A and B are shown apart, each in its own frame.
Chain A
Amino acid sequence: MSAILIILFFTLLLPAATPEKHLSVYSTAANYTLPLTLVDNRDYVGLLELLEPLGAVTAKADGSRWRIRYNNVLGDFQNSRIRGRIQGRDVELTGRFVLENGRGLVPVSSIPSLLPRFLGGPVTLHEDSHRLFIGSVATHFTALLTSHNPARLVFHFTSPVNPAITNSPGSVRMTFTREPVVAPASPTLTFGNKTIPSANYSENNGAAVITVTATTPVSTAISGDGRTITIAPAAVASQPTAPETPTSKATAPQPGAAATQSLPEIGRRYFVVIDASHGGDDRGEALGPNLAEKDVTLGLARSLKQEIESRGMTTLMLRDSDASIPLDQRATITDASHAAIYVVLHAASSGHGVRVYTALLPYDGDDVGPFRAWSTAQHGALSLSQSAGAAVLAELQKRQIPDRLLAAPLRPLNNITLPAIAVEVAPQGSDVQQLTAPDYQQLVTSAVATAIAAIHDQLGVTR
């Protein structure tokens, strides 16, 4: 009898304990959360409430008809009808339109086809996790494990964040509701460290969650105007922060990316830092009507990574998605990596073949005592950079690719303390589409990888 009462009690209690569903909306105008309504076993959202924070909007119910005006766009819907009209053109919903107490409700799954008609721009819906991104607002992040003993895990975000942080035995959970944080290439990041072995990214009910597993109590600190979150064992949290030396790399965020990176073990350093130039709002050169330099450099970077790793060397990709990373940050991460060489990739429509560049150091920037000037940080490694450039040139010539070795005032080459080269790839002829051809990309990147392998021992001495 008592067992039946207990079962009955939990049966009554469970529905009440189900958390209310939310849709989180991220846009340049505002980030906000809306409650969802369950209709016909589907999640519905109020269309007026969805558009209200984004512009001037009015709505009026007239019998079973519901009209909404957003700025100068007029929408017309009928209760229980799947089809509506926006600016006089039909639009089909994924479920029936619901008019409830004067509120017009549409299925959440209809938003990707419905909202662009009102806003005039693209939206991205993470339907399972109820997260809606209007325009290019995503916040990307990288995670680096420092080589300190004990190690610290440092997250760098492309925009300021302020997550809700909960510490529990064995894990730290950071919940991002108001921030448009998006997934890295792989949702599970492993660091091979005993204290902080892994981190996991997930999304649920309008929020992104990063869960860091830790075998000892840890503390969390936010710094860098909210762009940096450091997780360290509680015992070292109060110690002054020394320059961070990443030895394990986690993300280069890539929504929808097929390829994920295997992460190195603790104490194992990267040999080559690969940097796909530009990214995000910085598109680089417009190589063609629909071809941006940032996309070509990303393809080249992935090809180079594959070529280098196939020769038994480890790589750190600074960008493996359409993320915008400031030049200073690229240099800081590279310098802290203590890798053997830095290779940044560019693409160009002018000229023929490949140009290899080393830093053209500026006039100013004298070192002061033990402090190295930021603008001429490359000074000590320049001769080795030139050797690396010459080696790449020799390999390109073996493949009959027109090439040159030049100095260039190209940041962040001058801010890198390790050997650093830039590789600018132009088509061999006049067809700029060759830049996207996998065989041409591989021809160039295999030459770069072979050259680096050839001077492996020479580069390794500097580490």
Chain B
Amino acid sequence: MISRQLLIASAVLLIAVLGMSVYVWHMRRTAARIPAVAKDTRPLAPPVAGPTEQVTLFVAYDDDGTLRAEGAQIPLPSGRQQRAEELLRALLTIYLDKNSPHVIPPGSDVRSVYLVDPGVAVIDLNSAFADAHRSGVLVEELTVASLIHTVSANIPGVVKVKILVDGQQRDTLAGHASLTNFYDVSAMNALVATLGTPSSVGP
């Protein structure tokens, strides 16, 4: 003989289980209706807040093969290394935009920038940046010049720059621009002046 209390308890538990099942089914349907957010391959937004500063970014344009100075307002931390990293992230954000004048691979990012006295800057890029970078003398040179000049123009005292990929030295960026040596900032300044001028004869 089953007691009355046991029957009532069993019935309450059964109702609770059924109710929870309905609730879970409803929640799953609701979750399925919410559209999935597309994977954003842009680098993370600058993790700094507060007042923004006026900086000059040197942006590459593939159409006419030039490097142009463009002003930007971005929040910058006080540390020199962090400032350099945020400058380059702001530059890469422009290149990763769908209307970029100089397309770089999705997922490209700056891992770190190390500023070592006296006057040495080491830019460490991630492998997504270099592995799928477009190949060609000019297209690679524009990338390298853009990165180096953006750092040297905004961070005083940098005289030579080294570019690493995933913390390692590479022979070239994508088969042409050499990454084996330190770049001379003064030589790069002269190159940037030349890169400001497009071809001598129009296509």
Give A contacts to B, CB under 8 Å: 278, 282, 284-286, 293, 346, 348-353, 355, 357, 360-365, 375, 393, 396-397, 400-411, 414, 422, 424, 428-429
Contacts of A346 in B (CB 8 A): 136-137, 176
Are A406 and B184 within 8 A (Cβ)? no
A429→B203 CA distance, assembly (Å): 7
Are B199 and A285 within 8 A (Cβ)? no
Contacts of A375 in B (CB 8 A): 180-181
The segment from B38-46, B75-83, B138-146 that touches chain A is B138-146
A393→B136 CA distance, assembly (Å): 20
Knowing A363-B184, A402-B202, A428-B203 are in contact, say whether A409-B159 is a contact too (CB < 8 A).
Answer: no
Contacts of A348 in B (CB 8 A): 136-139
The residues in B between 150 and 200 inclusive whose CB is less than 8 angstroms from any CB of A are: 159-160, 171-172, 175-178, 180-185, 187-188, 190-191, 194-195, 197-200
| Interface bin, chain B | 35 or more
User: What would be 30 A-B contacts, judged by CB atoms less than 8 Å apart?
Assistant: A285-B134, A285-B136, A346-B136, A346-B137, A348-B136, A348-B137, A350-B134, A350-B139, A351-B62, A352-B199, A353-B203, A355-B65, A355-B137, A360-B187, A362-B183, A375-B181, A397-B200, A401-B201, A402-B200, A402-B203, A404-B197, A404-B198, A404-B199, A406-B141, A408-B141, A408-B176, A408-B177, A410-B137, A410-B178, A411-B171
Interface check B135, CB cutoff 8 A? yes
B136's closest neighbor in chain A, by CB?
Answer: A348
Are B199 and A353 within 8 A (Cβ)? yes
Contacts of A361 in B (CB 8 A): 184, 187
Are A409 and B178 within 8 A (Cβ)? yes
A365's closest neighbor in chain B, by CB?
Answer: B181
4 A-B pairs with the lowest CB-CB distances in the bound complex, closest first: A362-B181, A285-B135, A363-B184, A363-B160
Knowing A350-B62, A375-B181, A397-B200 are in contact, say whether A293-B141 is a contact too (CB < 8 A).
Answer: no
Q: Which of these, A284, A393, A424, contacts B175 with CB under 8 Å? A: A284
Are A285 and B203 within 8 A (Cβ)? no
Contacts of A278 in B (CB 8 A): 175
Q: State how many angstroms separate the Cβ of A409 from the closest Cβ of chain B.
A: 5
Contacts of A429 in B (CB 8 A): 203
Are A349 and B136 within 8 A (Cβ)? yes
Knowing A348-B137, A422-B137 are in contact, say whether A407-B194 is a contact too (CB < 8 A).
Answer: yes
Contacts of B136 in A (CB 8 A): 285, 346, 348-351, 424
Contacts of B160 in A (CB 8 A): 363-364
Are A403 and B201 within 8 A (Cβ)? yes
Contacts of A363 in B (CB 8 A): 159-160, 181-185, 187
Contacts of B178 in A (CB 8 A): 362, 409-411, 414
Q: State how many angstroms separate the Cβ of A130 from the closest Cβ of chain B.
A: 38
Q: State how many angstroms separate the Cβ of A287 from the closest Cβ of chain B.
A: 9
Contacts of B138 in A (CB 8 A): 348, 350-351, 355, 406, 408, 424
Q: State how many angstroms separate the Cβ of A247 from the closest Cβ of chain B.
A: 30
A416→B199 CA distance, assembly (Å): 27
A350→B177 CA distance, assembly (Å): 15
B186's closest neighbor in chain A, by CB?
Answer: A363
Q: Which of these, A351, A355, A400, A409, contacts B177 with CB under 8 Å? A: A409
Knowing A284-B135, A352-B199 are in contact, say whether A406-B191 is a contact too (CB < 8 A).
Answer: yes
A422→B140 CA distance, assembly (Å): 15
A293→B135 CA distance, assembly (Å): 10
Knowing A351-B138, A408-B141 are in contact, say whether A362-B182 is a contact too (CB < 8 A).
Answer: yes
Are A362 and B184 within 8 A (Cβ)? yes
Can you add 19 more A-B contacts, CB < 8 Å, to A351-B138, A364-B181, A414-B181?
A282-B175, A284-B135, A351-B65, A360-B187, A360-B188, A360-B191, A362-B181, A362-B183, A363-B183, A363-B184, A363-B187, A375-B181, A396-B201, A400-B201, A402-B202, A403-B199, A403-B201, A410-B176, A429-B203
